[in-house]
Amino acid sequence: MISQRTRAMPSSIQTVAPRTEAISQRTAAPARRVGFVTACSIVIANVIGTGIFTSLGFQLNDIQSGFALLMLWVVGGIAAVCGALCYGELSAALPRSGGEYHFLSQIYHPALGFMAGFVSATVGFAAPTALAALAFGKYLQGVLGFGSPVLLSFAVVWAVALFHLKNLQVGSAFQNFSTLVKLLLIGTLIAAGFFIHPTQPIDFLPARGDTILIFSGAFAVSLVYVMYSYSGWNAAVYVTGEIKQPEKNVPRSLLAGTSLVIVVYVLLNAIFLATTPAQELKGQLEVALIAGKHIFGENGGRVAGAVICLGLISAISSMTWIGPRVTMSMGEDHWLLRLLGRKNRHGIPTNAIVLQLVIVNLLLLIRSFEDVVRYTQFSLLLCSLLAVLGVIVLRFTNPRIARPYRVWLYPIPPVLFSIITIWMMFYLLRWHTAESLAGLGTALFGLLLYFCASKRPVRAS
């Protein structure tokens, strides 16, 4: 019974330490086959997504300084690696799948774990799907030269959902191929940028007023888009159990992989800004398509846009595959959500897929990339903040738990990540109150749902 399990779970994690330590010992037995280079590749593949092709235009709305714009990507990368290092310790100390759903349940209370799981299973996967679909619509319209971005966005999410509902899964080969093509495109854009004489009067060196700008609310809100672009950082640590010498290779791979991504992101944005008039990029979603036309010409830009569309389909398919499985797991654990835990005869969680599709469609109706990012990031940042603070809490409440990997330079990474996150959340709430409160409301609804689920009606025997 969920209610009995909840009452038995103390606020401290001391009573579950022996079981957790036993699990840690059991999971340490399998052979570790992933080396440093492969671990770095996993980090890079998880982090580099479509955010790099969509964020710059919205940052230009409030920031015009070249130095400050590039510093956004440096600060975001530092926050990402700090968060990933903290998640590495949590996943090593509490080795079970589930991410924040598992971490918060064990560290704080099952109610907070359920809240995080609810946010992840709904907003956490539906929002990236909607954002990728919005970008797909804009990019494909730019490639074709006609069509409605809104209709194209709806068409792609419905088409992908129907494939998954009919068990016509897009294979991992397509995922790997599209990722490789996307990386090749990024490399080509960067390489081409070095051979093109800068055509825009923008300076990337620090100027008077940049320090004040970097500590401003505009910088904090723009950083939200950057964190969306780095959003793979918390997925990269879940291979800890398969990495050789995790106490050394986990932090090294995270630092090396994320550092490389920071360099790539900074270079790519610098090339966008140096080759394309800022007024053309300002407020636009399809920044890579616009810049690609300046770098490669009209036709070359369309080819670059088509490649990005391929990567966006891959991202939509991946989220449509993974998200409903998380929702299904929650449906299997909680009676109130049991309808979402059902599968058809092919083992497909049809109800969970349909629910995510409905949420994605509702987000698409907003028709604003900016509003969707602000709404979803507030609740996601809240869950990440609680998880990272959990490293400090767990050090106090259960110092003897087995930790195959410990955060480097503790407590600097969790403290630095928390400061940056709280700073972003403060200005999101202050400047974009409606979207932030909507995100907070989503998390609180998850809490309410947990307490409803814990009051399961007693059946007559």
pLDDT higher than 60, residue 448: yes
94/268: higher pLDDT: 268
Structural contact between residues 117 and 330, judged by C-beta atoms closer than 8 angstroms: yes
Report pLDDT digits (tens) over 57-116: 999 988 988 899 999 999 999 999 899 889 888 887 887 656 788 889 889 998 998 898
pLDDT higher at 264 or 324: 264
d(CA 86, CA 45): 19
- Calpha distance 328→338 (Å, rounded): 8
Q: What global pTM score does this model have?
A: 0.80
The pLDDT assigned to 178 comes to 66
Exposure of 415 in the CB half-sphere (CA atoms within 13 A): 5
Question: What confidence category does residue 168 fall into, taking pLDDT thresholds of 50, 70 and 90?
Answer: low
**Angle, nearest 10°, between helix axes 369-397 and 100-107?**
40
Give CA–CA dist 437/79, Å, rounded: 23
Q: pLDDT (tens digit, 9 = 90+) per residue, 366-378?
A: 878 888 888 888 9
Q: Domain coordinates of the chain in residue numbers?
A: 34-399+407-454
User: Residues 24, 418, 94, CA angle at the centre, nearest 5°?
Assistant: 10
Residue 220, CA distances (Å) to 84, 145, 314, 413 in order: 20, 35, 30, 19
In words, the CATH class of domain 34-399+407-454 is: mainly alpha
d(CA 6, CA 365): 38
Q: How far apart are CA 73 and CA 343, in angstroms?
A: 42
Q: Of 21, 30, 36, whose CA–CA distance to 92 is shortest?
A: 21
**pLDDT number for residue 73:** 94
> In the predicted model, what is the mean pLDDT of residues 300-321?
82
Residue 218: which pLDDT band, with cuts at 50, 70 and 90?
Answer: very high
Tens of pLDDT along 271-309? 898 888 888 999 888 898 898 888 888 888 888 888 888
